[in-house]
A and B are shown apart, each in its own frame.
Chain A
Amino acid sequence: MKAPYEYPFDPPSEDAVAMRDGAIEGRTAGSPDAYDAGESARWSPKAIADVHAMAQLGRYQLRGYNTFSRRMPSFDDLVFVPATMTRLPLEGYRESCETATVLGDRPGLVSEPLRLDIPIYIASMSFGALSANAKAALGYGASRVGTMTCTGEGGMLEDEREASTTLVYQMTPSRYMLDLEHLRMADAIELAVGQGAKPGTGGVLLGMKVSERVARMRSLPVGVDQRSTVRHPDFLGADDLQVKIEELREATGYRVPIFLKMGATRPRYDVAIAAKAGADVIVVDGAEGGTGASPELLLDHTGIPTVSAIRAAREALDECGMSGKVSLVAAGGIRSGTDAAKCLALGADAVMVGTAALMALGCNSPRYLADYETLGTSPGRCHHCHTGLCPVGITTQEPHLEERLDVPGAAERVARFLTAMTMEITLLAKSCGKSSVHNLEVEDLRALSLEASAFTGVRLAGIDRPFTW
């Protein structure tokens, strides 16, 4: 047997082994830094705070705004590859680019398809979630630039009908204030089976926002925490939906398009089924989509990202021969014309914005700082729509807050924002050599990450091949 190695010096004393020279007494393991920071990847400050909240409330937390999850891929993972040698660009500052957008053009089924001047419109956000002033301002702003708004779940508000030259009437499972006259006053009808922020779960409107007017429209007691059904009361599956769509056509004389709005979960199948059931326009709302109030876990852990849903939805329509017959609208997390242009290139016929439109109204703008502070937040970080105490008068039913939203000024901001978004889209489209924004195509995009390529089938930058397994 080999003899154990011996140092050529005397074994050191324990005192010599211990780190001296200013080391912290009694702390033999790890650097003082790691102890002090105390950071666990699992037990992040948020995870700890969540347990504390649940332990005190005895329920999950609800909030407005949208997901804070950092795991969502972003539109920023895609870039355009404009015309260079293989294609010819259009003059960005001179040549024109068509932005007109037609939705629900189904001869024989729809006699008055929607004709919008731009490929962007305002998403369904209920009166209740939003103040009447916010609804009116969105309506006037959209009308100004030739596009439309949607009622959302709480019934048709007169202020909005008056403001919006084109208005989609939403029918949610709760059917608040569903009225034949309102259906007939609408320019389209949207059956909602879900939304991106909380697919598979019904709407929520906490009592602070169930004011007298809201309660009257929804036939609810004033101040109740309204939690709506998720299943429609009178249809369950796709076959019934088909009959329901026919009923709506009968009720409105085959005049207006029927939309079907869904949260993005299994778009490849869901979109095919919706098309088969007879929807004229299918709205796919990704997981990043905004909300007035939702259980927070649903924001972060349900549904798939918008970028990944659009390709699947478009391929589904292609596969069942419905592209060109059924229109596809994408939504969820769209912040700019750049994001919108990417949606069009991925296969959407139009996009819908909620949160971005609220920002244009003034959401998170640095005013009324004391009121942000009361909510425990600050401009840029506010996500307190569910409380009904919106500092800038958008997501509130409190008269003193609502009056902070000046309708004409806010309407003009919405109009200018939508105009600027449209300019962004046309600038990109022209650089890609397109004389219509609807000619943007997947080939105009490249992916900056394997993930984005894998989700969308968009070719990876440089190597020019989509990631495949």
Chain B
Amino acid sequence: MSATDRANRIELQAADRPIREVNDEIRAALADGREVLVRDARSRHNLGVGLPSASRVRFEGSVGYYCGGLNDGAMIEIERNAGWGVGEAMARGEIVVGGYAGMAAGASMRGGLLHIRGDAGPRCGVAMKGGDIIVEGRIGYLSGFMAHAGRLIALGGAGEACADSLWGGEVWLAGPAESLGVDARIEEPGAEEVESVEALLASRGLGDSGRDWRKVVSEQRLWHFESRDAKAWLMI
């Protein structure tokens, strides 16, 4: 048996076991009200998908694609790096990535908090519809692409085409952006908004009142399909 029971915590191995079996064991333990420690995550894909609220899981090592995808309220901690789509479509809960995150972290998420301690790859927060993403490092190119709502906060700045084609939502940068995307503009944040972002960061142990914030929002030129937008849409 791969699971070792210690008080209220269950430890199990991912290693090269069938992922379905690993996830079934995680879900069973959580249903039992146990916390779960998954050892040797070995960059396996689809670990901890669709987990319920009021549950706690820690992955030792790095995880592959879609870890914590469709999260429904679980607190998930990943010791090292995460592959593509960590926390994609999360509705509620919290996911912390100790290292770097690959492409499309928090893609189309609707709520909850995704906290990445390192850098995030391209298209971080793509199509996001709510919740907060904090990236302590830098976010890659096309981050926030076509986001609808929510906050994407990057302390280390952003790559090219930041916040491209935003519908809504906000990208907060405490560092430089290589370039802004189509239909994105920088707006001076209000004091209350800054306070709210700083409070969120402080709650994560990242308090620092000296940051020079740039808030990127939608210029709303692409909200309507009119000829004056044709250039922006790269149609001519």
CB neighbours of B228 from chain A (8 A): 58
Give Cα A62–Cα B225 distance, bound, in whole angstroms: 10
Give the contacting residue for B148; candidates A59, A220, A234; CB below 8 A: A220
Q: Which residues 210-268 of A sit at the B interface, judged by CB distance below 8 A?
A: 218-221, 224-225, 227, 229, 233-235, 240, 243-244, 246-247, 249-252, 254
**Quick check: B84 and A234 within 8 Å, CB to CB?**
yes
How many Å from the CB of B46 to the closest CB on chain A?
A: 5
CB neighbours of A176 from chain B (8 A): 129
**Quick check: A247 and B127 within 8 Å, CB to CB?**
no
Give the contacting residue for A59; candidates B65, B167, B235; CB below 8 A: B235
**Quick check: B66 and A247 within 8 Å, CB to CB?**
yes
B120 at the interface (CB under 8 A from A): no
How many Å from the CB of A89 to the closest CB on chain B?
A: 49
**Quick check: B167 and A251 within 8 Å, CB to CB?**
no
B64 at the interface (CB under 8 A from A): yes
**Quick check: B89 and A180 within 8 Å, CB to CB?**
yes
Nearest residue (CB) in B for A176 is B129
**Quick check: A240 and B148 within 8 Å, CB to CB?**
no
Binary interface encoding of chain B residues 101-113 relative to chain A, with 1 for a CB under 8 A from any of its CBs, else 0: 0011001101000
CB neighbours of A177 from chain B (8 A): 110, 129
**Quick check: A251 and B49 within 8 Å, CB to CB?**
yes
**Quick check: B91 and A234 within 8 Å, CB to CB?**
no
**Quick check: A180 and B70 within 8 Å, CB to CB?**
yes
Nearest residue (CB) in B for A234 is B85
**Quick check: B227 and A58 within 8 Å, CB to CB?**
yes
**Quick check: A206 and B225 within 8 Å, CB to CB?**
yes
CB neighbours of B108 from chain A (8 A): 174-175, 178, 233-234
How many Å from the CB of B212 to the closest CB on chain A?
A: 29
Report the interface size class on chain A: 35 or more
**Quick check: B223 and A243 within 8 Å, CB to CB?**
no
A179 at the interface (CB under 8 A from B): yes
Give Cα A234–Cα B128 distance, bound, in whole angstroms: 12
Give Cα A175–Cα B107 distance, bound, in whole angstroms: 9
CB neighbours of A207 from chain B (8 A): 224
**Quick check: A219 and B72 within 8 Å, CB to CB?**
no
Classify the secondary structure of A's interface with B: loop
B201 at the interface (CB under 8 A from A): no
Q: Which residues 204-236 of B sit at the A interface, judged by CB distance below 8 A?
A: 222-228, 230, 235
CB neighbours of A233 from chain B (8 A): 85, 88, 104, 107-108, 123, 126-127, 145
**Quick check: A180 and B50 within 8 Å, CB to CB?**
yes
CB neighbours of B117 from chain A (8 A): none
CB neighbours of B127 from chain A (8 A): 173-175, 229, 233
Give Cα A240–Cα B102 distance, bound, in whole angstroms: 13
> What total of chain B residues lie within 8 Å of the partner, measured CB to CB?
43
Nearest residue (CB) in A for B92 is A180
Q: Which residues 22-59 of B sit at the A interface, judged by CB distance below 8 A?
A: 23, 45-46, 49-50
B154 at the interface (CB under 8 A from A): no
How many Å from the CB of A223 to the closest CB on chain B?
A: 8
Give Cα A446–Cα B70 distance, bound, in whole angstroms: 49
B130 at the interface (CB under 8 A from A): yes
**Quick check: A178 and B110 within 8 Å, CB to CB?**
yes
CB neighbours of A220 from chain B (8 A): 148, 167-168
**Quick check: A243 and B64 within 8 Å, CB to CB?**
yes
Give Cα A175–Cα B70 distance, bound, in whole angstroms: 12
Binary interface encoding of chain A residues 174-203 relative to chain B, with 1 for a CB under 8 A from any of its CBs, else 0: 111111110100000000000000000000
Give the contacting residue for B230; candidates A59, A224, A246; CB below 8 A: A59
Give the contacting residue for A243; candidates B65, B103, B129, B222; CB below 8 A: B65
**Quick check: A234 and B66 within 8 Å, CB to CB?**
yes
Give Cα A417–Cα B235 distance, bound, in whole angstroms: 42
Task: Please judge, given known A-B contacts A58-B227, A219-B148, whether A250 and B129 are in contact too, CB under 8 Å.
Answer: no
Nearest residue (CB) in B for A181 is B72
Give the contacting residue for B225; candidates A183, A219, A225; CB below 8 A: A225
**Quick check: B49 and A178 within 8 Å, CB to CB?**
no
A57 at the interface (CB under 8 A from B): yes
How many Å from the CB of A61 to the closest CB on chain B?
A: 11
CB neighbours of B235 from chain A (8 A): 59-60
How many Å from the CB of B89 to the closest CB on chain A?
A: 5
How many Å from the CB of A249 to the closest CB on chain B?
A: 8
**Quick check: A180 and B146 within 8 Å, CB to CB?**
no
Task: Please judge, given known A-B contacts A233-B104, A240-B65, whether A180 and B91 are in contact too, CB under 8 Å.
Answer: yes
Give Cα A219–Cα B89 distance, bound, in whole angstroms: 13
CB neighbours of A244 from chain B (8 A): 65-66
B19 at the interface (CB under 8 A from A): yes
How many Å from the CB of B119 to the closest CB on chain A?
A: 18
Give Cα A177–Cα B127 distance, bound, in whole angstroms: 11
CB neighbours of A235 from chain B (8 A): 84-85
22 A-B interface contacts by CB (under 8 A) = A59-B226, A59-B235, A62-B225, A173-B127, A175-B127, A178-B70, A179-B91, A180-B72, A180-B91, A207-B224, A219-B148, A220-B167, A221-B167, A224-B167, A233-B127, A234-B66, A234-B126, A240-B65, A240-B84, A247-B65, A251-B69, A251-B70
For the complex with contacts A175-B107, A221-B167, 9 further pairs of A-B residues with Cβ separation under 8 Å are A179-B91, A181-B72, A206-B225, A218-B148, A219-B110, A233-B107, A234-B65, A234-B104, A247-B70
Ranked 5 nearest A-B pairs via Cβ: A58-B227, A234-B85, A175-B108, A251-B50, A233-B107
Give A contacts to B, CB under 8 Å.
Answer: 57-60, 62, 173-181, 183, 206-207, 218-221, 224-225, 227, 229, 233-235, 240, 243-244, 246-247, 249-252, 254
